[in-house]
């Protein structure tokens, strides 16, 4: 089960970024939400120069799986 129903529509890094930030809105306000928002931003900065389409799809898949785990935690 995906955290939000739009997970299967995520195809680009910008879509993933918006999707993950929407997931963060469902977390309780406070330090937990701030931590994950910061982690999302940092991850996008780290992977900003990635240009291999296969690797980008791997990152998107893993990020959605991780978001699912966090939301079910």
C-alpha 14/C-alpha 8 separation (Å) is: 14
Cα–Cα distance, 72 to 62 (Å, whole number): 15
DSSP assignment, residue 9? Answer: G
Q: What is the pTM of this model?
A: 0.82
Percentage with pLDDT > 90 across the chain: 60
Structural domain of residue 47, as residue ranges? 12-72
Separation of CA 22 from chain center? 9
Asked if residue 22 is part of any domain, the answer here is: yes
Identify the band that residue 4 occupies on the pLDDT scale cut at 50, 70 and 90.
Answer: low
The answer as to whether 2 is a domain residue is no
* Whether pLDDT at 9 is above 70: yes
pLDDT digits (tens, 9 = 90+) for 38-70: 999 999 999 989 999 999 999 999 999 999 898
- As a whole number of angstroms, the distance between CA 58 and CA 35 comes to 23
Asked, for residue 67, whether it belongs to a domain, the answer is yes
Whether 3 is in a domain gets the answer no
Averaged pLDDT for residues 10-21: 91
| Residues 3, 26 contacting (CB under 8 angstroms) | yes
Helix 31-46 with 13-25: angle, nearest 10 deg: 170
Q: How many domains does the chain have?
A: 1
């Amino acid at each position: 089960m995906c955290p939000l129903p739009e997970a299967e529509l995520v195809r680009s890094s910008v879509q993933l970024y918006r999707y993950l930030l929407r997931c963060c809105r469902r977390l309780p306000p406070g330090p937990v939400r701030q931590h994950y928002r910061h982690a999302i931003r940092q991850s996008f900065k780290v992977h900003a120069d990635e240009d291999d389409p296969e690797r980008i799809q791997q990152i998107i898949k893993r990020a959605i799986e991780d978001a699912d785990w966090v939301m079910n935690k």
